[in-house]
Structure 1
Amino acid sequence: MRSPAELDDVPWHDLTHAYGSAEDVPQLIRALYEDDQETVDEAIYELYGNIHHQGTVYPASAPAVPFLAHAACHVPGKREDLLMLLATLADNGPGDSESPHWPGSVVAAICAELARVFPELLPHLDDTDRGIRRAVLRVIAAVAGSLHAELRAEVLARVDVLYATDPVAAVRADAMVVRVLSGGSEVEALDSPLPEVRLAAAVLAAERSGPPYAPRLVEILTEDGADPDPGDDNYPWPGTSSQDQHLTGLLSQDPDAALTIAAGWIAAGDIGSRGSWIARQIMETWRGREPQALDLLLAALPHQGEAGGPAHGLSTIARWVRHVPEPGAALRDALYEYARTEQGESAEAALLALTHSRDPRALDLVLVLDLHCSGAQTLQAAALSFPEAGDRLIPAIRSALAAGATGNDAIHLVAALERFGTAAGQAQPELVDCLRTGRGAVVAARLLGRVGTPSTETTSALLEAAQSTDASLSIAAAVAHYQHTGEADPALRTFETLLATAKGPTHWYLAGLTPLGSAAAPLLPTIEPLLTARYDWTRMAAAEAHHAITGSPDRAVPVLAELISAAPVGLSALKALAAIGEVPEHLRPTLRAFAFSPLRLLSDTPFSEETHADEELRALAWRLLTDG
């Protein structure tokens, strides 16, 4: 170990951490010895942020180790925190790009330094504080492979003693993990009388075996994992911060086991909402698991805390039930009861979920809802679920807009009107007012362009909005003005100005250009160079615009085909190819992968009211395969 007196012997100014020069590291280490608690805490926080930053270590990290070890021994009040910092610095796993087995790596240097000072840390394995004993075990788990044979044997012998005799079951579980990570077996521990030990052993066994997990492991994880030790954050598993984090990561790999375990945890009270979290995680990771997971979320609602009630769980159900082709009657009946009997946010979330489930009873409830907060969002959901009910919903939407809905409420209401096609033209007066007053003006302008009836008032409002300093509004209004009048010049001037002055990616502007079609031909000299732009979204938007203007797929299709991937820009490119009606043959294997993957390839878009991006990718790929 090295004391603070030796800090100036290290050329910190030549070393770097997450934020550049490591010149500040000596000051932070000296601060660990201050009497002021706030100063010490701030120093530890800063060290976590610079010599270890979001899982990455740096050239300054290894030289700091002997000084941190000295502080861990001489700052008793922060011993556990400093030991954990040392363990975190040394963390490594088989899949890491750096490891102590890679000569010259930063992690190798950290582990070498930690191995040198470890004999002076080992006595703390007998500390009376369980947190400190667990922190030392965490250090051992990270550095055991770097200890010389004699020291390693001594350390593991002491770990065996802890496993056999420690009065704290969680410490015994940690000791068992260290034994297994050092070459032992977890099989015997699966039959331990201590649930903490059995649980840790089952996690180890699941990691070693991989999915699908054996029934015996699922049984242990279900029974012993429902209420884990609240102090397991120091769990000695390299690369993770806790046993729970590692376990949930493993469960996401086996949806059948995960849903079984989640059901058990929910039946046991859904402590910490852990069962609910697993159910959500499975829906986000795997396709087609929504029905089972939603049933679990429904079962978990009575366990949610009194303060917020079931609002959060109902909101999650509302988000996912729209992706189920035919939600079950039991689920819909339960949502109906919650919508009728709950109050405030819980009632609104239940009604939104019932509406997304396409239950006919939702329509009547929506239309008597006092529109506030999520009322506009619920009306949008109703328009999505009941497009045939325009004669009932359009008057309600118009009334809400006329009452002065602003912000996201106005956007939701205008988006709701879009679902009714030309019938939305009935709301032209309200849309023009939105445009003039800046309430959901961008979406109002776009809708006016598609369904509005040309009139002097509307044309004037669009032309005025086209002069807006808000680029999105300017584009939407200019294009809508063209759609009303057939006059392309105002729109062309708008796009010419924006494309000429853009300081960043131009795809936001190009995306609004396609409704102009061939009328945008004067812009081709500006658009064609963008087909080879560095930014993928710009290339995608330029290809889409080029096809809209020329009607020829020759330049657009190769650009779009190159962008196809399981990413947002890849999905947009696939939509554009589908609209063109020409999908190159060499993309068929990729389309098959999109269509048949059991895993979700795209994450949900949080603000989407229509469909999950992955569902859209799968459906589009399937349609293109069958059409071809």
Structure 2
Amino acid sequence: MFTGIDEVDWASMRHAYGSAQDVPGLLRGLASADPAEREIALDGMYGAVHHQGDVYDSTLACVPYLFRLAAREEVRDRGEIVELLVSIGGDGEVPEGVDAGYAMAHAAVRSGAEVFARLAADPDWGVRRTAANAVVRFLDRPERVLGLLRERIAVERDDRVLLALTEGLGFLARRHPGHAREVVDLLTALSLAPYGPGQRLAALGQLAGSAPDRLPADLVPTVVGLLRERSGQRPDPACEPDRPDTNTLVGRLRRLRPSDEEGSQLLRTLHTGLDGRVADRIALLNGQLTSPDPTDRCNAMWMSAGLFRDWRADYSTPVALIGAHLAAEEDQLRDAATSVLEDLYQLAAPAADDLHALVTSRPELWVRHWEHGPPTLGEPLRALARSGDPRAVPVLEQLLAAPDAPYDLGQVVAHLGPAAQPLAPALRAGLAGLSLDDPDVHNRATVLLTALGELHDTESLPLVLRLLTDLPDHRLRSLVVGAALRTLGAFGGAAREAIPVVRGLLDGENAIDAADALWTLTGDAAAVLPVLLTPDGEIVAHRGATEVLARLGPEAAPAVVGLRREAEAAHAWVRTPAACALWRIGGEAESELVLPLLRSTWARTPELRRPVAECVAAMGPAGAPLHDLLRAELAAPQRYMAPCGGYAPLAVFSDERLLEICRSALGAG
């Protein structure tokens, strides 16, 4: 296996952390009889030699030895070695312009693809499963790959391997459309009895992505029935082989995997293939959420987040079903439910009663304490407050009386609207009790200031001024000063006694916030413009300056020339706020420049649709030339930032806010 390994000049090669002289030890560790040593070696390969998918000269030098290890039956965990080879080789195609190292890695793995073909019949099911993934990516001639997959499906008896072979068929159909018809015929056959429920679910998932017209008319009841049949056959997790408990990333990821990772992948594939068939996906989700098997229900909750995040629909039924799991005894079910609900904001309202019941019965869940960093609101309470439910207010009031109130408490006040007004006395008391000498005063102060600003609580004005005048200098003082100035701005004309203090901050590091507050308090453009413009009329290099100029409206006329230059910038994040400011300052006289620019931004930079919609709303009837964009947005079934992918906690909130703005601008709000 390791012939010639000591003759390689590893010390001259590199990996993510420097010299690759430790790589021979990692390769030998993969062949160890000790499972912990194998896992540590695998972690080292992913962590250094193939760090975050990167390819180094040492990565290329490892490939021949990895193939030798994968081919030796006496080596344990060879399936993980095959997975590593697939990752090094990429997905089987090399895009034009890719870095030479990745192209060489792909070529190196492809050159050993005959090994994958032999491993497809290996005695070890884990090797056969990963080899099925490898052959469709690296073996030459798609007709040969199809024949190999067909042959293996005919003789394979392990459901886990059959699922991988079926997934390979779907990949083959998408990669080689010329063979799609044969593949689809085979997938259709695999989706029917007498094949097992897992195999049939896998085939339906691949058909959804490659040939949706071949799906059965009764898809949802079929899938729900197969899911429940499969759950009854699922082996007890206690029967799974013990794995080493190593302090490695590989080990941690393994422990975080769902207890039924295979089932999770099956349903995720099906949901992904169904894509915009939202009614079917909701019906399927409802079936999953009412399964008698708790693992299926848990998988459904984790999958629901992607559906809610990407598509607009009436989700009241699945949200209510998720809410019902908040009373579950299993921590895993409750945690999955709260994780989904906290990112739904007002769409979590159908689960509000269940959230309130959990918050009332479990005070220990009100706050989440972290090993590093300040405490935060617990997920159930945060979800209840974000949904706008006033029953969160008494609990938040209790937390405000504690010395370590969650630092994000102020952020949920805005979602509660007028119902949060009873919090004002506790917020003021907290602000009055701050020790300004405390080095962590910024954590507590910004919470309180944000909330008081949302409530427009002018009774707290003396306390806000105390922070601006008496707070000692330290590295995070500007955070507190900025929050205090924004709170004064929210108070508006009722905070006029703060004017001298605010004027004194116009030449400091919080100058833009001070200028914004001063304009709100006085309407004195002559005092504010010098902070926002350079002597030659350019906009100061601060991302907030353009927004403040927009709020000045016609009083910011001296900024028009500079804003026109910014509106011609290459970057949409610069020119779009400049265009919006131009309209608010110059009105219809700027239409010829502003309207085409906003239309272009809407189409090319969806991330900026909210500020564009706000600008169109501010235009009133003059914004009519852009109303077609807003009507199209309201009619679109997909959220404006979809597909988000990964972790996008603000996706639903931001999209629902965009829809509100569009309706308001069109007079339908």
Normalised by the length of structure 1, the TM-score is: 0.75
Residue pair 2:70, 2:81 contacting (<8 A) in 1 also: yes
> Deviation at 1:276?
1.0
Per-residue deviation at 1:89? 5.0
C-alpha distance in structure 2 between counterparts of 1:162 and 1:502, whole Å: 72
Distance of aligned partners of 1:42 and 1:568 in 2 relative to their CA distance in 1, 3 Å threshold: same
Correspondence for 1:171 among 161, 172, 185 = 161
- Counterpart AA for 1:414: L
Aligned residue number for residue 207 of structure 2: 205
| 1:240-389 alignment, distance < 5 Å | 243=266, 245-250=268-273, 252-266=275-289, 267=291, 268-270=293-295, 273-303=298-328, 305-306=330-331, 310=334, 313-314=337-338, 316-323=340-347, 327-328=349-350, 331-346=351-366, 349-369=379-399, 371-372=401-402, 381=412, 384-387=415-418
Whether 1:84 and 2:115 are equivalent positions in the alignment is: no
Q: Partner amino acid for 1:466?
A: L
Higher relative contact order (CA 8 A, sep 6+): 2
Q: Give yes or no for the alignment of 1:401 onto 2:399.
A: no
The 3-state SS of whatever aligns with 1:600 is coil
Residue 370 of structure 2 corresponds to none
How many Å separate the matches in 2 of 1:342 and 1:60? 53
How many angstroms does 1:539 deviate by? Answer: 1.0
Q: What RMSD, in angstroms, separates the aligned Cα atoms of the two structures? A: 4.9
The reply on whether 1:576 has 2:642 as its aligned counterpart is no
1:116/1:517 Cα in 2 relative to 1: closer, same or farther (>3 Å)?
closer
Write the deviation string for residues 93-152 of structure 1: whole angstroms up to 9, x where unpaired: 8xx8849xx9xx999987776565344444434444321222222222323553685x97
Alignment of 1:75-224 (within 5 A): 76-77=75-76, 79-88=78-87, 92=91, 98=95, 117-144=112-139, 146=141, 149=144, 153=147, 155-156=148-149, 159-160=152-153, 162-163=155-156, 166=157, 168-178=158-168, 181=172, 183=183, 184-188=186-190, 190-192=192-194, 194-210=196-212, 214-215=219-220, 217-220=222-225, 222-223=227-228
Deviations 1:5-35 (A, max 9, x none): 79989xx99xxx999xxx9899968963567
Cα–Cα, structure 1 residues 522 and 305, in superposed 2: closer, same or farther, change >3 Å? Answer: same
CA distance in 2, matches of 1:117, 1:608: 45
1 CA distance for matches of 2:221 and 2:44? Answer: 45
| C-alpha distance 40-380 of structure 1, shift in aligned 2 (>3 A) | closer
Cα distance in 2 for residues equivalent to 1:152 and 1:279: 34
Hey, what does 2:463 align to over in structure 1? Answer: 430
1:303-352 CA-to-partner distances (Å, cap 9, x unmatched) read 4744x88466335424424246xx45xx4433332222112225854444
Amino acid of the residue matched to residue 220 of structure 2? P
Match of 1:617 among 649, 658, 665: 658
Gaps of 5+ in 1: 235-240
Alpha carbons of structure 1 residues 300 and 97: separation in structure 2 relative to 1, 3 Å: farther
Could you tell me how far apart the structure 2 residues matched to 1:530 and 1:425 are? 37
Report the alpha carbon displacement of residue 191 of structure 1 after superposing the two structures with TM. Answer: 2.0
On the 8 A contact 1:202/1:217 being kept in 2, the answer is no
Any conservation in 2 of the 1:189–1:198 contact (CA below 8 Å)?
yes
Distance 1:576 1:132 in 2: 58
Helix, strand or coil at the partner of 2:663 = helix
Say whether residues 1:478 and 2:508 are aligned partners: no
TM-score, L = length of structure 2: 0.71
Alpha-carbon spacing, 1:46–1:143, altered in 2? closer, same or farther (3 Å) = same
Alpha-carbon contact 2:427-2:452 (below 8 Å) kept: yes
| Partner Cα separation in structure 2 for residue 627 and residue 343 of structure 1 | 41
Distance 1:132 1:79 in 2: 6
**Identical columns (%):** 20
The separation in 2 between residues aligned to 1:354 and 1:271, in whole angstroms, is 25
Distance 1:261 1:31, change over 3 A: same
| Counterparts in 2 of 1:365 and 1:243: CA distance versus 1, 3 Å | closer
The answer to whether the 8 A contact 2:311-2:638 is kept is: yes
The total of aligned residue pairs comes to 587
Aligned to 1:564: 602
CA distance in 1, matches of 2:597, 2:169: 55
Q: Which residue of 2 aligns with 1:516?
A: 552
Please tell me whether the aligned partners of residues 449 and 479 of structure 1 are also in contact (alpha carbons under 8 angstroms).
yes
Structure 1 residues 538-586: Cα deviation after superposition (integer angstroms, max 9, x where no partner) = 1122223333444543344443333224623232122123213365655
Question: CA shift at 1:594, angstroms?
Answer: 0.7
Provide closer, same or farther for how the CA distance between residues 6 and 73 of structure 1 changes in structure 2, counting only shifts above 3 A: farther
Given that residues 88 and 109 in structure 2 are in contact (C-alpha distance below 8 angstroms), is that contact kept between their aligned partners in structure 1?
no
Cα distance change on mapping 1:80 and 1:273 into 2, 3 Å: same
Name the CA shift for 1:290/1:226 in 2 (closer, same or farther; >3 Å): farther
Query: Deviation per CA, 1:193-226, whole angstroms, max 9, x where unpaired?
Result: 6443233233233334438872354235532566
Equivalent residue letter for 1:570? R
Alpha-carbon deviation of 1:287?
1.1
The answer to whether the 8 A contact 2:343-2:650 is kept is no
> CA separation in 2, counterparts of 1:121 and 1:195?
27
Query: Measured at CA, do residues 545 and 30 of structure 1 come closer, stay the same or move farther in structure 2, by a change above 3 Å?
Result: same
CA distance in 1, matches of 2:198, 2:390: 48
Distance of 1:77 and 1:502 partners within structure 2: 64
Tell me the CA shift for residue 295 of structure 1. 1.0
**SS of residue matched to 2:192:** helix
C-alpha distance in structure 2 between counterparts of 1:6 and 1:587, whole Å: 69
Partner of 2:67: 69
SS at match of 1:612: helix
Q: CA deviation at 1:409?
A: 5.0
Task: Provide the rounded CA distance (Å) in 2 between the counterparts of 1:346 and 1:195.
Answer: 42
1:599 aligns with 2:625: no
CA contact (8 A) 1:90 1:111 kept: yes
Q: Does the 8 A contact of 1:134 with 1:171 survive in 2?
A: yes
- Cα deviation for residue 597 of structure 1 reads 0.8
Partner residue of 2:250?
none
CA distance in 1, matches of 2:430, 2:339: 23
In the alignment, structure 1 residue 462 sits paired with structure 2 residue 502: yes
Cα deviation for residue 626 of structure 1 reads 4.7
Contact between 1:121 and 1:136, CA under 8 Å: does it hold in 2? yes
User: What letter is aligned with 1:492?
Assistant: L
Which secondary structure does the structure 1 equivalent of 2:504 belong to? helix
8 A contact 2:49–2:58 mirrored in 1: no
CA separation in 2, counterparts of 1:389 and 1:173?
52
Partner of 1:48: 50
| Displacement of 1:170 | 1.4
Is 1:538–2:538 an aligned residue pair?
A: no
* Closer, same or farther: CA 216–557 of 1 in aligned 2, 3 Å: closer
Describe the superposition over 1:511-551 as per-residue Cα deviations: whole angstroms up to 9, x where unpaired. 23333344444444433321211221211222233334445
**Residue number in structure 2 paired with 1:238:** none
Q: Are the aligned partners of 1:379 and 1:413 in contact in 2 as well (CA < 8 Å)? A: yes
Give the distance between the partners of 2:71 and 2:511, measured in 1 at CA.
65
Output the amino acid matched with 2:338.
L
Structure 2, unaligned runs of 5 or more: 173-181, 241-252, 258-263, 368-377, 436-440, 472-476
Q: 1:415 maps to which residue?
A: 450
